Amino acid sequence: MSNYVLLEKIEKCREEMISLSNSHALTSEAVISSSMKLDQLINEYLHNSK
């Protein structure tokens, strides 16, 4: 996956996580799951950037 596509996915996931955190507790399954997904995307982006 290209870095451009990854950046788009990262931004979308970040926005989703922020939205979820506005309606759920930060320790809720939904927010934690979204945060983990965001972490995976960021790690993939960093790995591709090397």
The reported pTM is 0.91
Looking at residue 21, its pLDDT comes to 97
How far apart (Å, rounded) are the C-alpha atoms in residues 24 and 4? Answer: 30
Contact 49, 4 (CB under 8 A): no
Q: In the chain, which residues have pLDDT < 70?
A: none
Looking at residue 1, its pLDDT comes to 83
Provide the b/e sequence for 11-27 (b: ≥16 CB within 10 Å).
Answer: eebeeebeebeeeeeee
Looking at residue 50, its pLDDT comes to 84
